[in-house]
Amino acid sequence: MGENRCMSASTLQDPAQQFEPEFIEALRVLFEEQIVFNRLLGLKLVDIRPDRVSARIDMKPELIGHFVHGRMHGGVISACLDALGGLACLAALGDRHRDEPPLQRMLRFEKLGTIDLRIDYLRPAVSEHFEMHADVLRLGSRVGSTRMAFHAANGLLLAAGSGAYIVS
């Protein structure tokens, strides 16, 4: 996950759980391009599975919160983990509704929203880039619960989070 690579269906670990390429591409476009704030931050998807999504973000001067130490702003970390937690729920919904065409499953994004978010900042966020992932803990009929992690390029855990999302 250290290099910046383009996400595709081939990045999935378990071939039996692979999403259709058009679903993966639709999720990528939604996450990286259509959600303008994610584009502003520079969030890039790395991997997407039914129960986990991964992304990365490169450090840039516009993301610094503590100018003396060059640390990433805590709000950026929170926004990244929130976005990834929501996407993890959308991927889990996409898996649950595989009987629907890929683009129809994308319409479920319209009902998705954050209910609760908790971020624990463990260490200063100083790195050339950051890697993050979100795991779906439970996907109910109305609410999805996730756990997220934000790592430095060397793998050091910098922040951890949990989120609840309305999914219907």
Check which CATH number belongs to the domain holding 34 and give it.
3.10.129.10
How sure is the predictor about 2, in pLDDT bands with cuts at 50, 70 and 90? very low
pLDDT digits (tens, 9 = 90+) for 3-27: 444 444 334 345 446 899 999 999 9
pTM of the shown model: 0.88
Q: What is the mean pLDDT of residues 25-32?
A: 95
Question: How many structural domains comprise the chain?
Answer: 1
Q: How far is CA 50 from CA 33, 138, 166, in A?
A: 21, 12, 17
pLDDT digits (tens, 9 = 90+) for 72-126: 999 999 999 999 999 999 999 999 999 999 889 998 889 899 999 999 999 999 9
Determine the pLDDT at residue 9. 39
Yes or no: say if 164 and 116 are a contact pair by the CB < 8 Å rule.
yes
* Sign of the four-CA dihedral 104, 106, 110, 112: positive
CA-based R_g, the chain, Å: 15
How sure is the predictor about 67, in pLDDT bands with cuts at 50, 70 and 90? confident
Gap between the Cα atoms of 67 and 154, Å rounded = 22
Gap between the Cα atoms of 56 and 46, Å rounded = 7
Calculate the CA 54 to chain-centre distance. 6
Q: Is residue 70 part of a domain?
A: yes
pLDDT digits (tens, 9 = 90+) for 121-149: 999 999 999 999 999 999 999 999 999 99
Yes or no: say if 54 and 64 are a contact pair by the CB < 8 Å rule.
no
Gap between the Cα atoms of 84 and 92, Å rounded = 12
Domain assignment of residue 142, given as a range: 9-166
Q: Is residue 2 part of a domain?
A: no
Determine the pLDDT at residue 18. 84
Q: Is residue 3 part of a domain?
A: no
